[in-house]
Amino acid sequence: MSDLIQLVYSSRSNTEFDASAVGVPQEIARILSASRRNNKRSQIGGVLCYGDGCFFQCLEGERGSVEKLYQTIANDNRHRDVTLLLSRSVHHRQFRLWAMKYLSVDRPIRQFLAEQGLKRFDPFALDGEAVDRLLEILRSDTEEWRRPAGNAVPERSAPASMSGGISPAMLGIGALAAALTVVTLIALVIL
Ligand SMILES: Cc1cc2nc3c(=O)[nH]c(=O)nc-3n(C[C@H](O)[C@H](O)[C@H](O)COP(=O)(O)O)c2cc1C
C-alpha cells in the first residue's frame, strides 16, 4: 500500500525577487520548469509560494519520493534556512492537478498575514493551524489563471479552441460555407 505524505517547509531565498512585477522572476521560472518536469515523473505534486524573500513549499506524493526530493531541495544553494514545518501521512492530495502550482504573495495571502499579525510573508512564524489555513488559501487561489503573463502554467494545456488553434466546429462551418459558395456559383452559371 502506498504511503502518501504531505511535506511543507519554508526557506529564505538567496536572491530577493520583485514578486509584484508582472510574470514570474526568471530564477523562479527555472525552478518551476525543473519541478514540473521532475515531479510529473515521480508523481509529486504541490505548491510553491514566494514573497518578501521567503519560499513556502508543499510537496505531496509517495513518502520515499517526497523525502528524497526534499533532501535535493534542501541542498540547493538558491536558498537557505530550509525548515520543515510539517510532514504527515494523508489520504488525499490537496494539489491534485499540479506538478507544482506557483503563487506569489498576493492579496488573499496578504489578508491572511494581516490576520496573523504579520506585516511580511514570514512562513517561519506560522504554527501548525496557520500552515493549514495558508495551504487552503493556496489551494483555492485561482488568481494565477487570470494573470496575462501566466504566473503559473497549469499542467494541462488549454484546448485548441482556447489557445488560438482551429476547432472541429470551426472547420465544419468553413466547409459548409465553401459548399454553399460553389452551389451559388453553379446556379449563377446555369441560370
Ligand atoms: C525553493 C525551491 C523549490 C524547488 N522545488 C523543486 C521541486 O518541487 N521539484 C524539483 O524537481 N526540483 C525543485 N527544486 C530544484 C532542485 O533543488 C534541483 O535543482 C532540481 O531538482 C534538479 O533537477 P535536474 O536534475 O532535473 O536539473 C527547487 C529548488 C528551490 C530553490
Residue 63 has pLDDT above 90, yes or no: yes
Q: What is the domain range of residue 71?
A: 4-156
Give the number of other CB atoms < 10 A from CB of residue 150: 13
CA 35 / ligand 1 centre spacing (Å): 5
pLDDT category at 127 given cuts 50, 70, 90 is very high
- Dihedral of the alpha carbons of 145, 146, 147, 148, in degrees to the nearest 10: 110
Distance of alpha carbon 168 from alpha carbon 158, whole angstroms: 15
- Dihedral of the alpha carbons of 15, 30, 153, 165, in degrees to the nearest 10: 140
Residue 96 lies in a domain: yes
Residue 145 has pLDDT above 60, yes or no: no
Nearest CA to ligand 1 atom 8: 35
Residue 152 lies in a domain: yes
CA 189 to each of CA 177, 184, 185: distance values in angstroms, whole numbers, following the listed order = 19, 9, 6
pLDDT at 142: 61
- The counts of H helices and E strands in the chain are 5, 5
Distance of alpha carbon 5 from alpha carbon 19, whole angstroms: 29
pLDDT at 1: 63
Residue 186 lies in a domain: no
Average the pLDDT over each of 58-67, 134-143, 172-181 and give the range with the smallest value: 172-181
pLDDT tens-digit map of 15-54: 988 866 778 899 999 999 999 999 999 999 999 999 999 9
Question: Measuring from each residue's beta carbon to the nearest atom of ligand 1, which residues come in under 6 Å?
Answer: 31, 34-35, 38-39, 48, 55, 57, 69, 72-73, 76, 78-79, 100
Residue 109 lies in a domain: yes
CATH classification of the domain holding 10: 3.30.70.100
pLDDT tens-digit map of 83-117: 999 999 999 999 988 889 999 998 889 999 999 99
pLDDT at 172: 59
Residue 173 lies in a domain: no
Residue 2 has pLDDT above 90, yes or no: no
Count of the separate structural domains present in the chain: 1
Q: Which residue has the higher pLDDT, 1 or 11?
A: 11
pLDDT category at 187 given cuts 50, 70, 90 is confident
CA 31 / ligand 1 centre spacing (Å): 6
Distance of alpha carbon 163 from alpha carbon 189, whole angstroms: 41
**What percent of the chain is predicted at pLDDT more than 70?**
78
Residue 148 lies in a domain: yes
pLDDT at 21: 74
Residue 171 lies in a domain: no
pLDDT at 97: 80
- Nearest-CA neighbor of 17 among 48, 58, 60? 48
State the closest ligand 1 atom to the C-alpha of 11, by its place in the atom list counted from 1.
Answer: 1
pLDDT at 59: 97
Task: Report residue 79: phi and psi, to 5°.
Answer: -145, 170
Residue 135 has pLDDT above 70, yes or no: yes
Let me know: does 10 contact 55? Beta carbons within 8 Å: yes
Residue 81 lies in a domain: yes
Q: What is the pTM of this model?
A: 0.78
Question: What distance lies between CA 184 and its chain's CA centroid?
Answer: 52
